[in-house]
């Protein structure tokens, strides 16, 4: 079994704000991340799949196809968007990096072909902060 | 003469939108960068100063002081903010990387001590796009 | 379960030298790393914790708190110090990257709150050499 | 148990082409990667070994020796070469990143000393594409 | 005046070989770079233009248009190609990084609009080697 | 005229301490950089030369020769050393990045062949701090 990773990126606005809490509690817990006028990030997304290479191609999976799946199901919906307002699968969820990574996993997993398993979604919020999710 | 550079970063939301134009013209010119719900970036800011080192310290300028000046006059006003709505010196300007770099120059230049000249403001919008401004 | 990583750095001097060996044997085994006048590195430290996100915040753990714990228990004791002479938890140990990673684990683990498990300490000695320790 | 990683690089030409297929099928499957005049990459190779540190040195394995083993058995045979034509252990295999990572594992594993286990071969074809192989 | 830089990349094979010299002299001067079966690189290309921002857009030049010009005139002709055999503007020239940077300048300069001057072509052959050309 | 840059690195210990000042004044000016037990860095050194390419080779200067000159005259004397104690050309100078860059320039300049001019010495002390020196 080998593991193949493709990196893509998207630029998005977001905000950490729990609507069930007061404005003051949001400020206290999330600090400047709660700014009502939003802030944003260059997110770097690494998607790892695993399986056995095809002897005819040497490929576990054609990395150009993997890139297309990520672009179609994730990048087009998140890039240059507001993660809280514009992304259907984040509706009613906190837009933390943890929840984003788990949400991306759920969007990608159904679109991989037989024999190619999703192994990890790794999402950098900044060059110094990232989350990994392995599906359970 | 030597040149000393310090890098700092800030995360911010912005939007490219000319209020003197129709929504359609903004869409045509700026594409997804005009998204009314904003998007954002991890901006990387490199500030270069020039001058002659002090023989007693070997420093052109104490890089910790340079960092404090950048943080006080730029990072605290831009980090986790909306560049269009929250940053006074960008009011009534397009929030392009070009204008941001020129605006940052104007904020920083008055705060450097005698003998330390601002040489360059370099601003990365993404790892693949940056602007440099040398003050004229 | 998700995994959250925060990166911090420190600059330190060190030396590889086994006091139970002759000077010649140290030279033979450690080469220039045994230089009696020390050398040093920009260490890059990545700390990964794991657990389940809190539904109210979307956070496994507030990454600013993780950063504070790393700074208080590691960075303040190692940054701009001599790892052999100044760091209490490295006393009487070889200052290899392996031992540093294991020592950092022991310092950090007791300070994480319930529900947040330390998963990995990854320490870069140079951009081309790193050690990972998973606690056993 | 600790994990130690050393990074090395090599620059090489290659081509994706299955000689059992028609020229047209190769074009269809591999696109521009099938170009008969070759293309190439700066490959970045990360080799991770695992084991217990020696109490006398603090080393799992002397990283300079690990580097020498990688250079002797991999870099000298692959750097500035054509992976399809010049590298004996890739003869009659597709030169995909997957097969390269698995081939490198087989070349390295026999040369590690007792107590030092090969854990992972990670090979970057470009900064955005990499493969990991853990030996089974 | 501001300076705007866009980075693009291409993967290509090449070889350093002077056909006016003997095989032995080529080996002596170029070493393994003369390998008759080629080698290759992930080239990173940074193109800098300069001029004054348009007050209506805040742009010196729309960076998406700059990217398209680079892709049309450079990347499509060089990516996944053999620089010695496949690239018309390198015919009868040594494929050194110096000559590549100068050749790229000549291809790009005629395609920039009025008011946008080409300032620099910077080409990385490896992460540790690059050439800059300023047009004269 | 083209500009060619080669990057090399060295790991060294140093300390900022002016022997003409009291211990207290050193603490006040240099803070933790004055630690009497030293600290250290992974220095990254970029050396840029300029000139005209040779039509026979396409080279301004053989980058392997440039690398050898840097290694012989700089890296061998600084790598794994104490910059204050072990490096002859820093004797009686403050070991600031500014002075290091100027000192390296003076060591390198005499060793470049005719037709190859030293253009810039750029020295990173950390990934966020660097100095450039252009020889005057």
F27-47 pLDDT, tens per residue? 999 999 999 999 999 999 999
F58-70 pLDDT, tens per residue? 999 999 999 999 9
Mean predicted confidence (pLDDT) in E23-47? 97
Residues of E noted as catalytic = 33, 80, 125
Q: Which residues of chain A are within 8 Å of residue B127 when distances are taken between CB atoms? A: 42
Mean predicted confidence (pLDDT) in C47-59? 98
Tell me the average pLDDT of chain F. 98
Reply yes or no on whether B33 is catalytic: yes
> What's the pLDDT at A66?
98
Mean predicted confidence (pLDDT) in B62-89? 98
A52-89 pLDDT, tens per residue? 999 999 999 999 999 999 999 999 999 999 999 999 99
Residues of C noted as catalytic = 33, 80, 125
Residue with tokens 């030369």: F49
A59/chain D closest Cα distance in angstroms: 6
D73-102 pLDDT, tens per residue? 999 999 999 999 999 999 999 999 999 999
Mean predicted confidence (pLDDT) in E70-78? 98
Angle (nearest 5°) at CA E31 between D69 and E23: 135
Domain containing C92 — which CATH number? 3.30.479.10
Helix (H, G, I), strand (E, B) or coil at E2: strand
> What's the pLDDT at A14?
98
Residues of chain A with pLDDT > 90: what percent? 99
> What's the pLDDT at B73?
98
Give the residue among B120, B133, B136 at the shortest CA–CA distance from B7. Answer: B120
> What's the pLDDT at E66?
98
Mapping DSSP onto H, E and C, the string for D27-55 reads HHHHHHHHCCCCEEEEEEEEEEEEECCCC
Report the alpha-carbon distance of residue F7 to residue F29 in Å, rounded.
31
Among residues 33-92 of chain D, which lie with CB inside 8 Å of chain E?
33, 35, 37-42, 79-82, 85-86
DSSP state of C61: S
A26-38 pLDDT, tens per residue? 999 999 999 999 9
CB of A109 within 8 Å of a chain B CB? The answer is no
CB-based burial, B13-38: b 16+ in 10 Å, e otherwise: bbbbbbeebeeeebeebbeebbbebb
Handedness of CA E2, E6, E7, E11 (dihedral sign): negative
Domain that residue D121 falls in: 2-133
> What's the pLDDT at F79?
98
Considering only the C-alpha atoms of chain B, give the largest distance between any 2 of them, rounded to a whole number of Å. Answer: 61
Contact state of D42 with E41 under an 8 Å Cβ cutoff: yes
Structure tokens belonging to residue D57: 């040195």
Mean predicted confidence (pLDDT) in E82-108? 97
Report the alpha-carbon distance of residue F44 to residue F41 in Å, rounded.
9
CB of A105 within 8 Å of a chain C CB? The answer is no
Residue F58, sorted as left (phi over 0), alpha (psi -120 to 50) or beta, turns out to be left
Res D128 pLDDT > 90: yes
When CB atoms are compared, the residue of D2, D8, D56 closest to C131 is D2
Res D136 pLDDT > 90: no
CB of D133 within 8 Å of a chain A CB? The answer is yes
When CB atoms are compared, the residue of A38, A41, A80 closest to B82 is A38
CB of D5 within 8 Å of a chain E CB? The answer is no
When CB atoms are compared, the residue of A21, A128, A134 closest to C6 is A128
If one counts the domains in chain E, the total is: 1
Which residues make beta-bridge pairs with D3? C132, D50
Interface residue of A9, A11, A34 to substitute, partner B, most B CBs within 10 Å: A11
> What's the pLDDT at E136?
86
C20-31 pLDDT, tens per residue? 999 999 999 999
> What's the pLDDT at A97?
98
B48-62 pLDDT, tens per residue? 999 999 999 999 999
Res D61 pLDDT > 90: yes
Give the residue among B34, B11, B8 at the shortest CA–CA distance from B83. Answer: B11
Report the alpha-carbon distance of residue E91 to residue E71 in Å, rounded.
20
When CB atoms are compared, the residue of B93, B129, B133 closest to E2 is B133
CB of F111 within 8 Å of a chain C CB? The answer is no
Tell me the average pLDDT of chain A. 98
Q: What number of CA atoms fall less than 13 Å from residue F73's CA on the CB side?
A: 19
- φ, ψ at D106 (rounded to 5°): -65, -30
Res B7 pLDDT > 90: yes
B86-130 pLDDT, tens per residue? 999 999 999 999 999 999 999 999 999 999 999 999 999 999 999
> What's the pLDDT at D37?
97
Is the distance from CB of F130 to CB of B5 less than 8 angstroms?
yes
> What's the pLDDT at F136?
86
Res B136 pLDDT > 90: no
Contact state of A4 with D98 under an 8 Å Cβ cutoff: yes
- Which pTM value belongs to this model? 0.97
> What's the pLDDT at D12?
98
State which residue of chain F sits closest to E16, comparing Cα positions: F57
Res C40 pLDDT > 90: yes
F69-109 pLDDT, tens per residue? 999 999 999 999 999 999 999 999 999 999 999 999 999 99
D18-55 pLDDT, tens per residue? 999 999 999 999 999 999 999 999 999 999 999 999 99
Interface residue of C57, C61, C71, C132 to substitute, partner A, most A CBs within 10 Å: C57
Show which subunits contact D, needing at least 3 CB pairs below 8 angstroms: A, C, E
CB of F32 within 8 Å of a chain C CB? The answer is yes
Contacts of D90 (CB under 8 A, 6+ apart): D83, D84, D99, D100, D103
CB of E7 within 8 Å of a chain D CB? The answer is no
C68-125 pLDDT, tens per residue? 999 999 999 999 999 999 999 999 999 999 999 999 999 999 999 999 999 999 999 9
- Note whether ipTM > 0.90 here: yes
Res A104 pLDDT > 90: yes
DSSP calls for C70-117: HIIIIIHHHTTEEHHHH-GGGTTS---HHHHHHHHHHHHGGGSPTT-E
A82/chain B closest Cα distance in angstroms: 6
> What's the pLDDT at C136?
86
């Amino acid at each position: 079994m080998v593991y193949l990773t493709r990196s893509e990126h998207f630029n998005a606005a977001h905000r950490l704000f729990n609507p069930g809490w007061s404005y003051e509690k949001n400020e206290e817990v999330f600090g400047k991340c709660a700014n009502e006028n939003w802030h944003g990030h260059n997110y770097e997304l690494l998607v790892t799949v695993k399986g056995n290479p095809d002897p005819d191609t040497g490929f576990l999976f054609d990395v150009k196809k993997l890139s297309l799946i990520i672009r179609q199901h994730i990048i087009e919906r998140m890039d240059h968007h507001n993660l809280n307002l514009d992304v259907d699968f984040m509706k009613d969820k906190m837009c933390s990096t943890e929840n984003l990574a788990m949400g991306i996993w759920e969007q990608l997993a159904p679109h991989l072909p037989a024999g190619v398993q999703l192994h990890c979604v790794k999402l950098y919020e900044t060059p110094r902060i990232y989350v990994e999710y392995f599906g359970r």
